[in-house]
Structure 1
């Protein structure tokens, strides 16, 4: 017993010695700047020791932030600025808004000469800036354009073959053939494989017969259907009679068909087609959403969009893809551009809301020290805490979505499998993450502007209502994040089976080894400014979190699958999976922001972007500090230093906030809100109400 006691005492002494060595190492190895955090309190309140605010050239910053093909956007802005009758008023009925939106689109195509369909096929980057500009004029206009060219036109061009392009391209491009995209049904939205509408081949007449078998299969929320559409791309189950087992009909899965719904000349609804108006919506009332029912509507066999599957005159089915699942994946894969558009356009909406909120916060004076003038409300830490991280996020999203557009353009050119897989996952993740963030941010911007933010003329309500549906269409955000999580799990499995990782996931090669090891007890305590603002630390933190979440969810899924099955296990871990997907998306966004900072050619502009990037990264880390603390990646003292630094960086970004929003280079016709104007905001505001 005595020997055991001595042994225990020796072990205890060894542990104390190890702890002392670790503490000594902490002081010896810690960077000299680690003590900078102690001056934050005095810096935040001002004083002699406060470093100067970063110097920035608005012209240089604006040039670096400029979207490619900005000249096309300016052409669109100038066109609408000179045509007051095409401006969307604050108060307008649903019927009037629909007709105005159609006039706006027609004028843009036929008078301004903007023909988007060619760019959908040849140069998507131009198409995306056209969409962003159209959405700046009126989000309803941007969505109506997207229905016509991304969805209706894009489905015909991408899912059809040469015969379809030859027949439909010009008429879709010049708006002679306005059309719809009839995928969603009353009972099925995100689960496209569950669609019930049928297209049964009739070998006697060489036609497909389109049917809505029950009320749940009514096509619902179909843009352009209620008033203006003449055609629809209808997604339906292709049924071949007598070709299944035992002479039964064979279901070949979901295919797309061109179905005329109105007469080209008279615009009358065609026989067998039933159209109803979905009515007034929360937002986007310039888009005429309708419901479609088909009762034995016959269309020629050639109206099957047959790129991935075809039916011959004698009723034989052929496809270059061997299974229904592969054909389905290929079909939906060609429609991924819609998600790219929404992510890209959502950033534009966020920029508008932030420009209004920041400019007003600089303009509005309130309270102040006793017997001294009032101060700008953006001088208050609470206002900085609301708006400055949001401004940093807008910059981060700007560069991330530009990267997504570049990848999408490369995918359309090369059709490289690795790039295709990368774009599918990245577009799903960015669309879900950015649109959710923007929707929440618009409301915060409104609150930041007090009572004046509630005036309809100052646009927050319109922006919020019109943008809100971005979280749902082109894939519900919760469903899209599950797709990202599923792809992460596949990549994880591939890594351990010796497979290769696609571009976006390359960091997992390192993270599965180094990031999952026990955190260094020294670096977990480093709290110096240079360390916390080091891009390597920031990226490591983001990727460490993602890797931890991935590893832990894999273990949980394995455990629950044994008792609940695969579906039950997935559902049990669903919130964990969604958090994993969001963490991964944030890692990609930060990586692209850091790349953009490092590539900036102008030193002062780079310094300002570095400041904004640091705020984005550290604010995200602080918002999830519980996760980092739980795994001992960040010690308490370091967490406190990060919190102080986020407040300080917000204070510094406030010093260049005007230049940062001005660098978005949004013209007055896009801002429109009187309180968001660059000058004479109050006089324009009072003029709006009749003074």
Structure 2
């Protein structure tokens, strides 16, 4: 404005005030227009293609597969026994006893014996574990300690003599046991364990000792109350005839009785203490164990990978301590497989509760019109629909992991062993971390009612939280994945073989690392963005770039910092690399599951959900793709727009998608998640 044209009484302050007033008026009109006129238009435009028709029964059948029957047997048994259902409020000691009675009932009354499946049909075992965990997560963990850890160590690390002696007692719960690996000072670093087992050739016995407080076995499930045996991991020390006195043969596993079979009294030389009240899983009796010159027969060494003869000679089919250690831990990888699989089960329950409530709860809406479901709000869709898509993605990825693990147990194929080891580490870490965060999101999405204990988010969140730590801390496990990727990267350029999971590095890495095509970087059509090849290429391109760049950084820093220092300097980069690789694997398995689905309506629904999973992940890391010109600005905008549209489309079938999980009301147990009469049931719970 030309100052000469202003009237004498018109000041700069007046003009500033006028500008502010005009802006407020425009903003008010804009908001009023959206709320009063455009709301219905938004819904119509988004839904113009129509809602998909989903055959819930067919989709559920495809999801749950051949293990549906055993899970329903678990559900129906506990539904028929109200006295075995865990109340919302229960004291720690009462919860432990209830959990033990639940396990006894499952095995001795319902006739479901998980132990035989640990070795014969692991997929069936994991299906039981998922179902049992939905009844009470403490029960799922206690069952896992008894059968997968204690029982699994006996049959996987022992030999025929151990199976003959202990199998039936473990199976029928006459021999409740523990898995005593973790120590006060050492958890993830198992090779650093300090408990020792010294061979006494005169008495033909091992002497188990806890040399210092740091070596006390800690967080040992079943130890505080119910356990009678423990598989104790300790350094095997053999006497020598030289000045050293003893030779350290590395960490081995030993069966150590800890309580009298008849009186249940703690045995001499063993000290047991209760680890006390925990953040969650208080139905599991975690304890601490100290050993003072506890003698066990030589036969109690679980000797599959290393044995000691009567005269003190050590023999093994594996030449080094490191190879024996790797073989021992390789046999225990089932715990990680089970946790990844069970974590998806927890996510299904949480997503079901949050989405059912979001469909039920109505709040606000256009003037003089009925209130709308809170799932109609874009913000709620943004919270829950990508999570629902991830739940489906994780389901297929972990189901594939279980299949690989089962095949590995049958064939003992060396390449498959390596593949399962790395994949289980990555999926356990990635899935449990995602579920832990999602439980809080679900709670918040349900507002105040999500805070009611009866609606389960608190107990689910607390019980699941430790999934991120046991069977391998998630940060440590991701480093294992990154280390394996770097090993594969090195072998790729030396012409060596690659395990199945890493095939794409061999087949396509050079293409991924070349300059992005400036033409495809600008393609923004929906057909292109929903093309599985584009989605998978984008995921793998990111992984390949991260892998190449971290390899260069490690090589550079190792010259001045050494290998350990260089690794630590690049640690965050390595963790991102591992997560990116696992996301690539998850997407590949999801795409495969979509293509293999025989029912057309289910396949269409899964394709929609898969596209949302893929594009939402790309959008969440769009900065990376933009920085390397893999995605041009217009394409990034199109990805964002399509992701929001797909979220709305998935919202339209959200009810059918969670129904396909086939979780009855008596399994989800949250009043706000009931499929009918939710509010009526909820009010009855509090006494109306």
Q: Fold match, TM over 0.5?
A: yes
Write the distance in 1 (CA, Å) between the matches of 2:491 and 2:43.
Answer: 52
TM-score if structure 1 supplies the norm length? 0.93
Residue 684 of structure 1 aligns with which residue? Answer: 681
Question: How do 1:560-579 and structure 2 match up within 5 A?
Answer: 560-579=557-576
Deviations 1:74-127 (A, max 9, x none): 111111101110000000000000000000000111111111111101110110
Helix, strand or coil: the match of 2:66? coil
Deviations 1:186-243 (A, max 9, x none): 0000000000000000001000000000000000000000000000000000001125
Helix, strand or coil: the match of 2:521? coil
Q: Aligned match of 2:656 in 654, 659, 663?
A: 659
1:48 is displaced (CA, Å) by: 9.2
Moved over 2 A (4+): 41-49, 245-248
Residue 415 of structure 1 aligns with which residue? Answer: 412
Write the distance in 2 (CA, Å) between the matches of 1:407 and 1:235.
Answer: 27
1:67 is displaced (CA, Å) by: 3.8
1:510 is displaced (CA, Å) by: 2.6
Write the distance in 2 (CA, Å) between the matches of 1:186 and 1:44.
Answer: 58
Write the distance in 2 (CA, Å) between the matches of 1:253 and 1:46.
Answer: 68
1:68 is displaced (CA, Å) by: 2.7
TM-score if structure 2 supplies the norm length? 0.94
Residue 99 of structure 2 aligns with which residue? Answer: 101
Deviations 1:444-490 (A, max 9, x none): 00000000000000000000000000000000000000000000000
1:46 is displaced (CA, Å) by: 2.2
Q: Indicate yes or no: 2:175 matched with 1:196.
A: no
- Where structure 2 has 5 or more consecutive residues not aligned to the other structure, the ranges are 1-38
Write the distance in 2 (CA, Å) between the matches of 1:528 and 1:551.
Answer: 30
Question: How do 1:262-411 and structure 2 match up within 5 A?
Answer: 262-411=259-408
Write the distance in 2 (CA, Å) between the matches of 1:363 and 1:247.
Answer: 73
Given that 1:353 and 1:442 are in contact with CA atoms closer than 8 Å, whether structure 2 keeps it comes out as: yes
Write the distance in 1 (CA, Å) between the matches of 2:590 and 2:509.
Answer: 23
Given that 1:44 and 1:648 are in contact with CA atoms closer than 8 Å, whether structure 2 keeps it comes out as: no
1:49 is displaced (CA, Å) by: 8.0
Residue 62 of structure 1 aligns with which residue? Answer: 60
Write the distance in 1 (CA, Å) between the matches of 2:120 and 2:605.
Answer: 36
Q: Which structure is higher in RCO with an 8 Å CA cutoff and minimum separation 6? A: 1
Helix, strand or coil: the match of 2:396? helix
Write the distance in 1 (CA, Å) between the matches of 2:663 and 2:41.
Answer: 33
Deviations 1:235-279 (A, max 9, x none): 000001125x64421000000000000000000000000000000
Q: Indicate yes or no: 2:187 matched with 1:183.
A: no
Given that 1:44 and 1:651 are in contact with CA atoms closer than 8 Å, whether structure 2 keeps it comes out as: no
Write the distance in 1 (CA, Å) between the matches of 2:603 and 2:293.
Answer: 63
1:45 is displaced (CA, Å) by: 4.1
Write the distance in 2 (CA, Å) between the matches of 1:574 and 1:503.
Answer: 26
Helix, strand or coil: the match of 1:626? helix
Q: Indicate yes or no: 2:235 matched with 1:237.
A: yes
Q: Indicate yes or no: 2:665 matched with 1:668.
A: yes
Residue 36 of structure 1 aligns with which residue? Answer: none
Helix, strand or coil: the match of 2:45? coil
Residue 75 of structure 1 aligns with which residue? Answer: 73
Q: Aligned match of 2:426 in 408, 411, 429?
A: 429
Residue 630 of structure 1 aligns with which residue? Answer: 627
Given that 2:206 and 2:296 are in contact with CA atoms closer than 8 Å, whether structure 1 keeps it comes out as: yes
Given that 1:67 and 1:129 are in contact with CA atoms closer than 8 Å, whether structure 2 keeps it comes out as: no
Q: Aligned match of 2:439 in 437, 442, 448?
A: 442
Q: Aligned match of 2:255 in 239, 255, 258?
A: 258
Q: From the superposition, tell whether residues 43 and 122 of structure 1 become closer, same or farther in structure 2 (CA, over 3 Å).
A: farther
1:499 is displaced (CA, Å) by: 0.2
Given that 2:47 and 2:649 are in contact with CA atoms closer than 8 Å, whether structure 1 keeps it comes out as: no
Q: Aligned match of 1:518 in 505, 511, 515?
A: 515
Question: How do 1:135-154 and structure 2 match up within 5 A?
Answer: 135-154=133-152
Write the distance in 1 (CA, Å) between the matches of 2:61 and 2:301.
Answer: 47
Q: From the superposition, tell whether residues 309 and 43 of structure 1 become closer, same or farther in structure 2 (CA, over 3 Å).
A: farther
Residue 498 of structure 1 aligns with which residue? Answer: 495
Given that 2:178 and 2:220 are in contact with CA atoms closer than 8 Å, whether structure 1 keeps it comes out as: yes
Helix, strand or coil: the match of 1:256? strand
Residue 605 of structure 1 aligns with which residue? Answer: 602
Write the distance in 1 (CA, Å) between the matches of 2:279 and 2:561.
Answer: 40
Residue 580 of structure 1 aligns with which residue? Answer: 577
Helix, strand or coil: the match of 1:366? coil
Write the distance in 2 (CA, Å) between the matches of 1:442 and 1:375.
Answer: 24
Write the distance in 2 (CA, Å) between the matches of 1:198 and 1:552.
Answer: 43
Helix, strand or coil: the match of 2:285? coil
Given that 2:46 and 2:645 are in contact with CA atoms closer than 8 Å, whether structure 1 keeps it comes out as: no
RMSD: 1.1
Q: From the superposition, tell whether residues 428 and 392 of structure 1 become closer, same or farther in structure 2 (CA, over 3 Å).
A: same
Write the distance in 1 (CA, Å) between the matches of 2:592 and 2:154.
Answer: 37
Write the distance in 2 (CA, Å) between the matches of 1:622 and 1:323.
Answer: 47
Q: Indicate yes or no: 2:528 matched with 1:558.
A: no
Write the distance in 1 (CA, Å) between the matches of 2:41 and 2:647.
Answer: 12
Residue 542 of structure 1 aligns with which residue? Answer: 539
Write the distance in 2 (CA, Å) between the matches of 1:426 and 1:670.
Answer: 30
1:43 is displaced (CA, Å) by: 8.4
Write the distance in 1 (CA, Å) between the matches of 2:445 and 2:46.
Answer: 31
1:63 is displaced (CA, Å) by: 1.5
Write the distance in 2 (CA, Å) between the matches of 1:254 and 1:632.
Answer: 50
Helix, strand or coil: the match of 1:305? coil
Residue 32 of structure 2 aligns with which residue? Answer: none
Given that 1:43 and 1:50 are in contact with CA atoms closer than 8 Å, whether structure 2 keeps it comes out as: no
